[in-house]
Structure 1
Amino acid sequence: MFDPDDPLLARVRAMALALPGADEKVSHGRPAFFTKKVFAYYGGAIRNDGVWVQHEQAIVFLPGPDERPALEADPRFWVPAYLGPSGWLGLDLDERTDLGEVAELLEDSFRLTAPARLVAALDR
């Protein structure tokens, strides 16, 4: 379900694994970045009129509750199947994507899911 040599995946991987205690595994056929809990996936899907639409080059992340409404109003973001009802969002990536924004989204998701000691390590 993903190309291990995808250059966008390599960039997301570098950002995600730079966070304290972060690791990677393949979950449901996609790269997942986690500490005790997953904080981001690379790639996702939505269900549109009964048809699965794949978002191969994307991040799926958990935004902060205060940020979610603004992100949902931005047409670049989409609600992924399965994780969407739990508050997760997706963002498609390409060569024009602001990687600073991606790093912020990954960090925010990390802060919501990582143990307090790892969040404290990030803040140091």
Structure 2
Amino acid sequence: MSQGGRRLPGVEHPQVVDPRHPLVERVRSLCLVLPEAVEVEAWGRPTFRAAKPIFTYVGASMDRPLSIVVKTDPEEHRALVQDDRFYGVPYFDRNHWVGTDLDATGTDWQLLAELIETSYRQVALKRQLAALDSPGAAERSL
């Protein structure tokens, strides 16, 4: 539980997903190549941040632990939620966030990499975007 964004003493969130799961590892590899991206455990799940703001987190809900949530480009949001692979996430949908389930064989990892980068772009600082768009940045592997 939190109050005003602070964790209340003695209250822990249950772990939603094993952070060492191979699908989580694959998401991690897509997120941590972005400039200044860091991983922070919050609410019992891995979150990926552009320094402080979250751009991706794993585990949309306890019922969907192997899933990710990303912030969409507002103009692309409507099309994504009309795609059966994506769904609105409780508490986040009005802010252009979507969830999608991860699957070892059915996940379109190229699309996921693009959505993660788009999400990062929605929250990143100007210097982070400049680093992302700098010459040589395209060589990073997604």
Same structural fold, with TM-score higher than 0.5 when normalized by the shorter chain? yes
Whether 1:111 aligns to 2:121 is: yes
| Larger strand fraction of residues | 1
Give the counterpart of 1:88 among 88, 97, 103: 97
Alpha-carbon distance, 1:5 to partner: 2.0
Letter in 1 for 2:132: L
Give the counterpart of 1:55 among 58, 64, 67: 64
Whether 1:66 aligns to 2:81 is: no
Partner in structure 1 of residue 20 of structure 2 = 5
Alpha-carbon distance, 1:82 to partner: 1.4
Partner in structure 2 of residue 97 of structure 1 = 107
Larger RCO, structure (CA 8 Å, separation 6 or more) = 1
Partner in structure 1 of residue 53 of structure 2 = 37
Contiguous gaps of at least 5 residues in structure 1: 46-52
Aligned residues: 117
Query: C-alpha deviations, 1:92-122, integer Å up to 9, x for none?
Result: 1101211111100000000000101101100
Letter in 2 for 1:103: A
**4+ residue segments displaced more than 6 Å:** none
* Contact 2:70 2:115 (8 Å CA) reproduced: yes
TM-score, normalised to structure 1, is 0.90
Whether 1:76 aligns to 2:79 is: no
Contiguous gaps of at least 5 residues in structure 2: 1-15, 135-142
Letter in 2 for 1:34: R
Query: Could you say what secondary structure the match of 1:3 adopts?
Result: coil
TM-score, normalised to structure 2, is 0.79
